[in-house]
Chains A and B, each alone.
Chain A
Amino acid sequence: MRDIFAEIWATAKRNKLRTGLTGFAVAWGIFMLIFLLGAGNGLINATEQNNNQFMDNSMVVFGGETSKPYKGFKEGRPIQLNDRDFGLTKNRFATHIEEVGAIVSQGPLTISYGENYTSSPVLGVFPNYQAINKIEMCYGRFINNIDNEQQRKVIVISDEQAKELTSRPIQSLIGRYVDVGSNAFQVVGIYKKKQSGSSSYGNTPFNTLRILYGGGDNMEQINFSFHGLDTEADNESFEKSLRSSINKNHDAAPDDNSAVWIENRFTQALQMETGMSIIRTALWIIGVFTLLSGIVGVSNIMLITVKERTREFGIRKAIGARPWSILKLIIIESVIITTFFGYTGMVLGIMANEYMDMTIGHEQVDAGAFKATMFVNPTVGLDVCVEATLVMVIAGTLAGLIPARKAAKIRPIEALRAE
């Protein structure tokens, strides 16, 4: 074995450019594959993280404008959701719906505490708002059912707002009263504002806010979590029947798609997942083709190598080399070159991904209202790296095999005549 390595070392040294080019083709193929997949994973991870801020199996319904004339009304009539819609949603669709809530909003209102104040919209919400929007609490609690039933004047503010209101540790605000508009509200909780969410809101009980501001029986949104709708078709038929029921309440055509808007996070997530898998597949295809170009490079160079060395193989055969030993020489050379350079490419690719992770992986795009990370963990699993390198090595071997067989088969006298 040591002799074979010595032989290969000698030939590689004699043909630096050729060996270098082969190696470059291989290393480049692996490098590009790993780098591409890493960047793709970074994008996908970031998108998933950004999308992960809502509960998947939830829907939000809000009023729109009619788009067709119906029952004597002409099109373009705004639709305002109300308690009837809420009750209908809750009762008629009880088989699928878990918890129904609604939202009203006011503002922006000034929230002040002593000398300090901040201004933001204030929402009147149900307790389910926390789960649906995945709100994480820093201190205290979120709005609960008792708050809503008793129409308590309580508020949950964001950590960002809390910092504006006090220079002391923000948990000291819990239990304190702040002025919201012209009313005093007790702070019961502080939530963590999302990095990529929209701006801060004050959250108060739905009933409290609606009554304080004379909202009658109107509401802006109905939101609910659901279960048992597993396919896109199920979701579609559910949405269709919900829409036609609500439309009927407002004398709008049952099939009028713009009278109320339904935002289904489940189908959104489903579509996102489809989109992501398309991106993933596309990345793999590009990667595999890059890998393929590396393989073609190896085969090409192996072909030339064998042709160039035909006479040498003839000499070797004349002095007693068996076909198998010629075959072995070429194949081992091919394997060693692809392994060595494949490994180099792999290491460089991983290094590039780590570099990307360290730099733009932690860089956030600041869009004013929210921040978004473009790349999250742009790396590839080690298993994929090793697999890609193995594929390269195997392909390199196969690439070497064809010309090697030809060289091993050629009669020594023909090989000796070659120049």
Chain B
Amino acid sequence: MIHLKDINKTYQGAQPLHVLKGISLDIAEGEFVSIMGASGSGKSTLLNILGILDNYDSGEYVLGGALIKDLSESRAAAYRNRMIGFIFQSFNLIGFKTAVENVELPLFYQGVGRRKRHQMAMEYLERLGLLPWAEHYPNEMSGGQKQRVAIARALITQPRLILADEPTGALDSKTSVEVMQLLKQLNAEEHKTIVVVTHESGVANETNKIVHIKDGIIGRIEENLDHHASPFGINGVMK
């Protein structure tokens, strides 16, 4: 699904910052992976590259068999739209659109008709238990509800890859658990490939594979099939 080979990324500026120093990583279809690291380790940059939100300087990134390199904005937009669902720490919902309108938006950019779009968005909101909130604006919802709207929006195009950037970063521990349960369920039941970026070991512990990144280099990849092994994982306490 994802094949990274020797990815390098430097932020140009007054003092050039070499953020990713040769990242090579393979993620197979259906894997549930977390990328862990301290702030400034380059984990978010890596996720942005995976999400084609940012470009890289050298190396090779193959997503679902397609080489992602120097794409035009339109091509990149099309890939993002069809292949990838995004979940952000700050939800990134559009404030003047209702929950259902936010969920519909990716389909709008696919050119799906209005009625079909609405119907599908309502279905996804129902799956996430948000039907009563469909006509509410983001500022009328709690953090957990907003994140679930964002998840519905990420899922509606039925992408094969879900990228989550600190999905629980702005949530309390109870809703964090709920969100992680949701992601686990998606991985288990629908075999979605999910990549979560986090600095919380409790969150990482919920995933099946943990990639540790430090100073732009992958340190250690640990298989984490027994989620109860770590003391952080007991009873799903993450914080």
Residues of A within 8 A of B (CB): 2-3, 10-11, 13-14, 311-312, 314-325, 408-409, 411-413, 416
Contact = CB atoms under 8 A, between A and B. Distances in A.
A286 to B, nearest CB: 39
29 contacts: A3-B108, A3-B114, A10-B96, A311-B92, A312-B94, A312-B95, A314-B92, A315-B92, A315-B94, A318-B86, A318-B92, A319-B80, A319-B81, A319-B109, A320-B77, A320-B78, A320-B81, A320-B106, A320-B110, A320-B157, A321-B77, A322-B73, A322-B77, A323-B73, A325-B109, A411-B53, A411-B54, A413-B54, A416-B53
Contacts of A320: 77-78, 80-82, 106, 109-110, 157
Q: Identify the 10 closest CB pairs spanning chains A and B, nearest first.
A: A320-B81, A320-B109, A14-B96, A413-B53, A413-B54, A322-B77, A322-B74, A319-B106, A323-B73, A315-B92
B114 A2 contact: yes
Given A3-B108, A10-B97, A416-B53, A317 B92 contact: no
A415 B105 CA distance: 18
A316 B80 CA distance: 11
B51 interface: yes
Interface string B43-60: 000001001011100000
Contact of A319 (B55, B96, B105, B114): B105
Contacts of A316: 94, 105, 109
B48 A413 contact: yes
A2 B118 CA distance: 14
Given A316-B94, A316-B109, A321-B77, 12 more contacts: A3-B108, A10-B96, A315-B93, A316-B105, A317-B80, A319-B80, A320-B77, A322-B74, A325-B109, A411-B54, A412-B53, A416-B53
Chain B, interface size category, equals 20 to 34
A7 to B, nearest CB: 9
Contacts of B94: 312, 315-316
Nearest to A316: B105
A323 B96 contact: no
Contact of A323 (B77, B81, B88, B93): B77
B212 interface: no
Contacts of B92: 311, 314-315, 318, 416
Nearest to A15: B96
B49 to A, nearest CB: 9
| B74, B92, B97, B153 pick with most chain A CB within 10 angstroms | B92
A12 to B, nearest CB: 10
| B55, B77, B95 pick with most chain A CB within 10 angstroms | B77
A319 B153 contact: yes
A281 to B, nearest CB: 47
Given A3-B114, A411-B53, A413-B53, A322 B78 contact: yes
Contacts of A323: 73-74, 77
Interface string B126-162: 0000000000000000000000000001000100000
A317 B77 contact: yes
Contacts of A14: 96
A14 B97 CA distance: 10
Contacts of A321: 77, 109
B169 to A, nearest CB: 15
Nearest to B117: A3
Nearest to A14: B96
Nearest to A319: B106
Nearest to B54: A413
A188 B52 CA distance: 99
A178 B113 CA distance: 92
A317 B48 CA distance: 13
B74 A324 contact: yes
Interface in B68-102: 73-74, 77-78, 80-82, 86, 88, 92-97
Contact of A318 (B55, B80, B110, B157): B80
Contacts of B77: 317, 320-323
A411 B70 CA distance: 13
A311 B97 CA distance: 14
Nearest to B75: A322
Contacts of B110: 320
| A317, A318, A412 pick with most chain B CB within 10 angstroms | A318
B164 to A, nearest CB: 13
A186 to B, nearest CB: 89
A319 B73 contact: no
Contacts of B81: 319-320
A11 B74 contact: no
A319 B74 contact: no
A322 B78 CA distance: 7
Contacts of A411: 53-55
Contacts of B93: 315
B68 to A, nearest CB: 14
A314 B97 CA distance: 15
A316 B110 CA distance: 12
A314 B93 CA distance: 11
Given A3-B108, A14-B96, A312-B94, A319 B54 contact: no
| A11, A408, A413 pick with most chain B CB within 10 angstroms | A413
Contacts of B80: 317-320
Nearest to B52: A412
A310 to B, nearest CB: 13
Contacts of B86: 318-319
A171 B73 CA distance: 88
A312 B105 CA distance: 12
